[in-house]
Amino acid sequence: MPTSPRINDLTGNQASFAAWLKLEEGAVCSHYEAPTPVQLKHCFGVELEGSTQTELWPGHLGAFLLRPDGTADGSPSMEVMPGVFGLLPFWAKDRKFSRHTYNARTETVADKPSFRDAWRHARHCIIPAVAIYEPDWRSGKAVPTRISRVDGELMGIAGLWDRWKSPEGEVVYSYTMLTVNADDHPLMKNYHRPEDEKRMVVILPKGLYAEWLSATAANSREFLKRFPADRLIAV
């Protein structure tokens, strides 16, 4: 398994508040809390071999779920893989490119060079998360805010994945989170700078996990909806 990459020394415990704000400018989720192996198995019924990080920043190694190749009747509907947070298209020069590709706007994902191949081939994935973090500027200062599901269940965030081969020949998996406009979302409109567009990641209802992973490119947009505000809590 590849070791966790570091981007400008941004590690889960060492990332400075200023660096986090810089990443968040014009973006959505650059920091999230990933589940433990026990939580992952309980919610999704899958076991991850090896270790990943639980405090995730762009370029870190996390877990994502995808449909197994050649799925047949009776086989698992999903499998878990370790991957870099931030999608690496085949033409990326190095892993640092993931710092720019951890979010994919649903309005432009089909056309952006970084994402269009994964979108065209319906490389759908689910990123499991305990919580995401967004800056609340309503007080005039950025206050890091933890957002999770009210019921305590894991979030299943819709994403795209890809394979990338490093200059040394190593095959690396990576993923990105899909985002939608949230200007009038009762909860998520409160985050990021007042002058910025409000956005949120696509959180899938649990009953649609299997359908999202197997959906065709033509049907992908049917799943790209905003999660209800009353089913989220911010602290």
Domains of the chain as residue ranges with CATH: 17-234 (3.90.1680.10)
- 26 C-beta neighbours (distance < 10 Å), count: 11
Which has the closest alpha carbon to 213: 25, 80, 41, 60?
A: 80
- How many CB atoms are closer than 10 A to CB 96? 16
What's residue 69's pLDDT? 76
- What is the model's pLDDT at position 27? 56
CB-CB neighbours of 1 under 10 Å: 10
Q: What is the DSSP letter of 54?
A: S
In this prediction, residue 76 carries a pLDDT of 63
User: Mean pLDDT for each 10-residue chunk of the chain (235 residues)?
Assistant: 33 42 57 95 91 92 88 67 97 96 97 97 97 92 94 98 95 97 96 91 96 95 97 97
* pTM of the full structure: 0.87
Residue 104's nearest CA partner among 178, 156, 38, 21 is: 178
- H-only helix segments in the chain: 17-24, 37-44, 116-120, 209-214
pLDDT of residue 29: 83
Tokens 């959505």 locate to 28
Structure tokens at 135: 């800056």
Give the Å distances, CA to CA, from 154 to 34, 42, 182.
9, 10, 21
pLDDT score at 194: 87
